[in-house]
A and B are shown apart, each in its own frame.
Chain A
Amino acid sequence: MEWIFHPWPWYVGGPMIALIMFLLLFFGKNFGISSNLRTFCTICGAGKSNEFFNFDWKKQQWNLMVSAGAIIGGALASHFLSTDSSVAIHPDTITKLQDLSINSAGKAYLPEELFSMQALLQPKVLLILSIGGFLVGFGARYAGGCTSGHAISGLSNLQLVSLYAVIGFFIGGLFMNHFLLPHIL
């Protein structure tokens, strides 16, 4: 059981995701996390003035439970199932990030330059987190799903449109990573 405390290799992580998708199908549901963001809007009353948010959110309660579970799972994994949380990314990537003044590369789970409470004092960091979040939420709903809904469930069900979406994810991601991030960070 020692392995559980180390970072899981891809051949454990990938099959676990497939298992989660299977469990959801077995209990009559479809895997898709970003739908919860729409449910939150509805719970906050967005359905009163807009048709898109006017649905019975109680039917999505199961998915809210999945996201609540994801929060608990993150807490359990980080507090009880990890000894060293630094992420061993490729040495070239570490050098590249250091050049962009992300010096926590290779030493932390998330860049301290973006995800520490201290970093929040910088307006630039606030902008990165808020714009990043906005694009994720807007894009996921526009595309009708995120990584779980398209890259995992949609492609597993051989949906051609999910392939369009995933190609889109990579066009956007590569453009941000190679052309925008070097100027932003």
Chain B
Amino acid sequence: MRQLIFLIIGILFGITMYKSEAASWFRIYEMFQFKSFHMYGIIGSALVLGVLMIQIIKRYKLKSAYGELIVIPDKTKSFSRYAYGGIIFGLGWALAGACPGPIFTLIGAGFYPILIVLLFAILGTWVYGLIANKLPH
């Protein structure tokens, strides 16, 4: 039952990624060309609402559906891993035109060549795991 809830949330997410065109290579290309407000509007409005939401959750100590306090863990403090990892991710995002959420969405939408992107994203994750302790973090 609990798992079904997450499937439904995922379905909503997939529909949103497809219909808002955030899953379109063209929208990502256009975003990096600064030719349209569209992607900035999506991320920006999600962020404004997200910041408000999390402030309210923290201030009023809101509880989850299971009665537990909602906690959002802080991320580990560092600079290099976020900067280097971020740049590498950005290079791939602009090349493949898809980040992980849209990769799944596009499989469902029937663009099967995206399976190659998924396969190599898994491979990239694996290679990171293998050499992680040799990289600056």
User: Chain A: residues with CB nearer than 8 A to chain B?
Assistant: 4, 7-30, 33-34, 36-38, 40-41, 46, 50, 52-53, 61-63, 65-78, 81-82, 87, 89-90, 92-93, 96-97, 105-106, 108-111, 114-117, 119-120, 125-126, 128-148, 150-162, 164-178, 180-181, 184
Contact = CB atoms under 8 A, between A and B. Distances in A.
Interface string B1-24: 011111111111111111111111
A10 B68 CA distance: 33
Contacts of B74: 157, 159
A126 B41 contact: no
For the side of the interface on B, what is the size category?
35 or more
Given A23-B9, A142-B128, A89 B100 contact: no
Contacts of B103: 133, 136
Most A-side CB within 10 Å, residue of B9, B11, B20, B126: B9
Contacts of A172: 86-94
A33 B122 contact: no
Contacts of A162: 75, 82
Interface string B21-46: 11111111111110111111111111
7 contacts: A27-B65, A33-B104, A92-B35, A136-B89, A139-B85, A155-B50, A159-B74
A21 B53 contact: yes
A90 B36 contact: yes
B109 to A, nearest CB: 4
Interface of B is mostly: helix
Interface in B68-90: 68, 70, 72-79, 81-90
Contact of A177 (B17, B32, B110): B32
Contact of B101 (A52, A72, A147): A147
A10 B123 contact: no
Contacts of A142: 81, 84-85, 88-89, 128, 132, 135
A75 B108 contact: yes
B25 A110 contact: yes
A36 B13 CA distance: 15
B94 A173 contact: yes
A104 to B, nearest CB: 9
